[in-house]
Amino acid sequence: MTTHQDLPISRIMQTSILHCTPDIPLCQAAKRMAKRHCSSIVIMENHQALGIWTEHDALMINFSTPSALMRPIAEFMTSPVHTAPHQMLLSEALLITELPASYYGPKPKNRSPFY
């Protein structure tokens, strides 16, 4: 009998992740999130996840300064984004999300971002 935690993450992961480049203005990223009803957007460059910006991150921005909305999303993203190979088991993925960020090191290609 296979439990849910024995499934590879490829069986449950979202494949149509909302993403943008690091230079896109914050206001455009927020518009894309609203249009797709998403609570986060992954910042990508050369097929690599550089960071993530979430609704929670939006709480840290001083919106009384309109110029903040025109600054690049990369200035506001959270980094690093944790990644894992598609074949990793859900139980293993749950364990690595508990590790400190310094454990991860450089991000290899062909890995899925965690959110």
pLDDT digits (tens, 9 = 90+) for 3-44: 566 888 888 877 788 999 999 999 999 999 999 999 999 999
pLDDT digits (tens, 9 = 90+) for 73-105: 999 999 988 777 888 888 888 777 665 544 444
- How many angstroms separate the CA atoms of 56 and 39, rounded? 8
Give the pLDDT of residue 113. Answer: 52
Neighbours of 47 (CB within 10 A): 7
- How many angstroms separate the CA atoms of 108 and 83, rounded? 8
Q: In what order do the strands lie in the sheet with 48-54?
A: 19-20, 40-45, 48-54
